Amino acid sequence: MLIIEVLTLFPGYFVSPLKTGILKKAIDKGLINVDIVDIRRFTANRHKSADDYPFGGGVGMLMKPEPIFRAIRNSKLGGTKPRVILMSPQGKRFSQKEAKRFAGFKKLAVICGRYEGVDERVSEKLVDEEISIGDYILSGGEAAALVLIEAVIRFVPGVVGKDESVSTDTFSYKFLKYPQYTRPGSYLGMEVPDVLTSGDHKKIAEWRRRESIRRTVERRPDIIDPDDLTEEEKRIIEGLKVR
């Protein structure tokens, strides 16, 4: 079982997502456990304040270190030391590769930043790594934490019905996923490619491979690693450029 603890100032943010879709199913099956930890529980003042003004001046507030340190220490008492992740716009860019790596840990502790961020001592002494889900700013790390959690749990055995679904996902493979179609075969004058209804599995596989490469060349050429291409893939890409 993968145990995930989410440290947040807004625990209510996670109520609905944890009762919906793949997250709910994984929890119900006992494949993962997600514990939402209210950071304010670990404050030492009667007002439960978990933020304060930054030294040196400046706009906004910073999350205080003491309650976060206490929350993480409380987590360690539960047995396995967690891998501590801080959701931060200054962190390493999250990817499918990182999601798979995180799924290999027994326990994750995900800290959701708010306001102008967290006291630097949290990053220096508690956090194993900072993670960003993209180059934009959110009001807090809660939405980013949900993105990370859903991506990670897909690699936990049994969460996704077929392991093949995970291995062929976009970004799990070196190219984007090929175009897909379902019934009806004809809609508003748009037809499903004949090869997909031919019953010829070899031709279907070849078409999907070619279309996967074409889509990547057109939409995300930045993710293509020339050193990771087979000779056949190089020929397909050259053929696309000629056209």
The CA distance from 227 to 193, in Å, is 32
Is 116 marked active-site?
Answer: yes
Domain boundary among 144, 163, 182: 163
Provide the residue range defining the domain that includes 11: 2-163
pLDDT of 242 = 66
pLDDT of 167 = 60
168 within a domain of the structure (yes/no) = no
pLDDT of 212 = 95
pLDDT of 243 = 61
| Beta bridge mates, 87 | 112, 131
Q: Which of 89, 179, 208, 210 is catalytic?
A: 89
Residues 132 and 229 both lie in one domain: no
The CA distance from 228 to 212, in Å, is 15
Domain boundary among 102, 136, 163: 163
Residues 159 and 177 both lie in one domain: no
Torsion of CA 194, 195, 199, 201, to 10 degrees: -170
91 within a domain of the structure (yes/no) = yes
Q: Which of 83, 129, 169, 210 is catalytic?
A: 169
46 within a domain of the structure (yes/no) = yes
* Each residue's pLDDT expressed in tens, for the chain with a length of 243 residues: 999 999 999 999 999 999 999 999 999 999 999 999 999 999 988 889 999 999 998 889 999 999 999 999 987 656 788 999 999 999 999 999 999 999 999 999 999 999 999 999 999 999 999 999 999 999 999 999 999 999 999 999 999 976 656 665 656 678 999 999 999 999 999 999 999 999 999 999 999 999 999 999 999 999 999 999 999 999 999 999 766
pLDDT of 165 = 63
pLDDT of 172 = 61
79 within a domain of the structure (yes/no) = yes
Residue 140 per-residue DSSP state: B
17 within a domain of the structure (yes/no) = yes
Is 154 marked active-site?
Answer: yes
Residues 108 and 153 both lie in one domain: yes
56 within a domain of the structure (yes/no) = yes
The CA distance from 123 to 173, in Å, is 33
Is 89 marked active-site?
Answer: yes
Q: Over the Cα atoms of the chain, what is R_g? A: 23
Q: Which of 116, 209, 210, 215 is catalytic?
A: 116
pTM for the whole structure:
0.86
Geometric angle at alpha carbon 175, from 169 and 176, rounded to 5° = 55
The CA distance from 175 to 210, in Å, is 10
Residues 33 and 130 both lie in one domain: yes
212 within a domain of the structure (yes/no) = yes
**CA distance readout (Å), 90 to 94, 118, 130, 141:** 11, 12, 7, 12
Where on the phi/psi map is residue 30: left (φ > 0), alpha (ψ -120 to 50), or beta?
Answer: left
Is 243 marked active-site?
Answer: no
Please state the length of the chain.
Answer: 243
Residues 80 and 142 both lie in one domain: yes
CB of 82 closer than 8 Å to CB of 111: no
If one counts the domains in the chain, the total is: 2
Q: Which of 51, 67, 154, 233 is catalytic?
A: 154
